[in-house]
Amino acid sequence: MADKRIDDIPEIPEDQPEAGSNGIDIPVPEEAPARGRSRRGRKRAKWSEADTGLLPESGATAGTVYTLGPQNEFGDVEDVSFESSSEDADELSAPKEGAALDISDIPNAVPTPDAPRTAGKSRKRKKRRAAQPRTTAVAPEKASVPAAEDTEQDSTPAEQDAPAVPEGLPADMNTSENADNAPSEASEVSAEAADAAPKTARSKRRGKRRPAQADRPDSGNAPSEADSDGGEAAASRDAVSSPEEEPSTPAKKSKKKSRRPAAQAEVAVGDAAEPADAPSETPEKPPRAPKPKAPAASLLLRGVLTENPLIFGLVGVFPAVAAAASGTTALAAGICVLAALIVTNLAASLIGDRLPRRLRAALMLLLAACVSSGELLALEALLPETADALGIFVPLVAVCGLTLARESFAAEHHPVSALIDAAACGAGFATALTLFGAIREVIGSRTLFGLDISVPGLPPVLVFAAPAGGLLLLGLLSGAARYVGTKRRASKRGSKEAEL
């Protein structure tokens, strides 16, 4: 069937303007803008031969205005459906060498899936087009794209049957026929395609439009599919300027073009072998990317030592000053923070970005407060003296800044990583807090975890048991830790330079 069509196409001498298989002169603007094809732009394509640069072969004088069909504001003809006019179908399909038709006589066909089939050479073509009436969208810049000899390479059986098309064939026929190749079998298989096709006409037009959109100069860097489309569109641009120079590159284009309608026909008919790469109407929500896992060793090292939240981050000044007056209370406060941190980190990781950041932070705060209530009850039951010593500090310790400081990290990582991070940071914080409380206890009251270690002749420095002493000791320890870290980094840098 396609052979018949191709046989109908006359050989075109080089010195003559391009003529379609139906004998129609398609005026082609040399540089038609390919950008910004809007769906709503439906004007009549009006351009003169001064624009197209073609000779008035059909007898029209220079300046004759041709009306091709709906055109958007950028000059791209969006839809030219010759087949829907049943009266002119035979006339259109029959090649008439040297006698070009007046294009203005061709009605601009609105897609008519139920268009009556006419007898003649184009009958099968009519049938195909009835299945896919809106596949003849032609961009002017594609008009003189040579046809694809390589359409045999395409995976669709209908496309493999597509024969070589002589160069210089008008692009509207090339693209329309290539586009029709894939659904041709499907339309023969099922007559319901004629009814189903108009529903997908919009998506088909989108599919046609994509390469033209990729024609934009800035679309060259677009990744993946858009990139390939851009490359093909660039090839089509080259083909417009010199249609006979590189026949293989436009062939690639026609292959790609013929794929898209195949996939669209799959939507309409459901009997196409091509995978569905057609753009869908409703953008699908991208699947949620799996959360990254951080290495456990580095998390542990960072949380406990190198980026200790209390010493280096100075997160949790309040527990260190108010609740860590002794080693025992400091240990209890550290365990409270650790428990609250594990629960909130795990919950934050599981919630992730399902909630807004602010709402998630508030929820974590509430969760930490709930955990602190349980901790207070447990402390009152197990260690009543410590609970009395801590008092209201238990809920405040659980709601301290460390809980929310790690929440953002946990929300972006895998629950396992969040759990390890919580354990590391909580353990590091508890350890530092316990050591800090023990130091304060030793200096401030000469005891260690309740044991008397007083030295005769060395009275306790009471200020370190007070909040002011806690602030002073914390500031001094933090500065000392920074000093050690700076020295260590400097020594590492020096050793590396010495090695070099």
Partner 1 sequence: MSFSQMLTISLGLILSENIVFSRALGLRAMLDAEYPRRTAWLTLRVAVGIVLTAMAAWPVDRFLLSPFGLEAARAPVYVLIAGILELVPEIVLKKTAPSLGARFREDRPFLLLNVVVLGCALTLSDICPSFAELAVGAVSAALGYVLASVILSSVLRRTRFAEPPASFEGAPLALVSAALIALAFAGFHGLHF
Residues that bind partner 1 (CB under 8 A): 314-318, 320-322, 357-358, 361-362, 365-366, 369-370, 372-373, 376-377, 380, 392, 395-396, 398-401, 403-404, 463, 466-472, 474-476, 478-480, 482-483, 486
Between 203 and 329, CB nearer to partner 1: 329
CA distance 34 to 209: 10
At its nearest, how many Å lie between partner 1 and the CB of residue 330?
A: 14
Between 240 and 397, CB nearer to partner 1: 397
Tell me the C-alpha to C-alpha distance, in Å, between residue 57 and each of 18, 27, 46, 66, 110. 10, 10, 18, 13, 28
Token pair, residue 165, equals: 């098309």
At its nearest, how many Å lie between partner 1 and the CB of residue 392?
A: 4
At its nearest, how many Å lie between partner 1 and the CB of residue 218?
A: 34
Between 97 and 388, CB nearer to partner 1: 388
Between 155 and 373, CB nearer to partner 1: 373
At its nearest, how many Å lie between partner 1 and the CB of residue 375?
A: 9
At its nearest, how many Å lie between partner 1 and the CB of residue 422?
A: 17
At its nearest, how many Å lie between partner 1 and the CB of residue 498?
A: 23
At its nearest, how many Å lie between partner 1 and the CB of residue 329?
A: 14
SS (H, E, C) the chain: CHHHHHHHCCCCCCCCCCCCCCCCCCCCCCCCCCCCCCCCCCEEEEECHHHHCCCCCCCCCCCCCEEEEEECCCCCECCCCCCCCCCCHHHHHCCCCCCCCCHHHCCCCCCCCCCCCCCCCCHHHHHHHHHCCCCCCCCHHHCCCCCCHHHHHCCCHHHHCCCCCCCCCCHHHHHHHHHHHHHHHHHHHCCCHHHHHHHHHHHHHHHHHHHHHCCCHHHHHCCHHHHHHHHHHHHHHHHHHCCCCCCHHHHHHHHHHHHHHHHHHHHHHCCCCCCCCCCCCCCCCCCCCCCCCCCHHHHHHHHHHHCCCCCCCCCCHHHHHHHCCCHHHHHHHHHHHHHHHHHHHHHHHHHHHHCCHHHHHHHHHHHHHHHHHHHHHHHHHHCHHHHHHHCCHHHHHHCCHHHHHCHHHHHCCCHHHHHHHHHHHHHHHHHHHHHHHHHHHHHHHCEECCEECCECCECCCHHHHCHHHHHHHHHHHHHHHHHHHHHHHHHHHHHHHHHC
* 162 residue type, one letter: A
Between 296 and 365, CB nearer to partner 1: 365
Between 362 and 453, CB nearer to partner 1: 362
CA distance 124 to 147: 20
Between 160 and 486, CB nearer to partner 1: 486
Between 110 and 476, CB nearer to partner 1: 476
CA distance 158 to 284: 30
At its nearest, how many Å lie between partner 1 and the CB of residue 363?
A: 10
Between 273 and 472, CB nearer to partner 1: 472
At its nearest, how many Å lie between partner 1 and the CB of residue 139?
A: 46
At its nearest, how many Å lie between partner 1 and the CB of residue 430?
A: 18
At its nearest, how many Å lie between partner 1 and the CB of residue 291?
A: 22
Between 13 and 391, CB nearer to partner 1: 391
Between 142 and 360, CB nearer to partner 1: 360
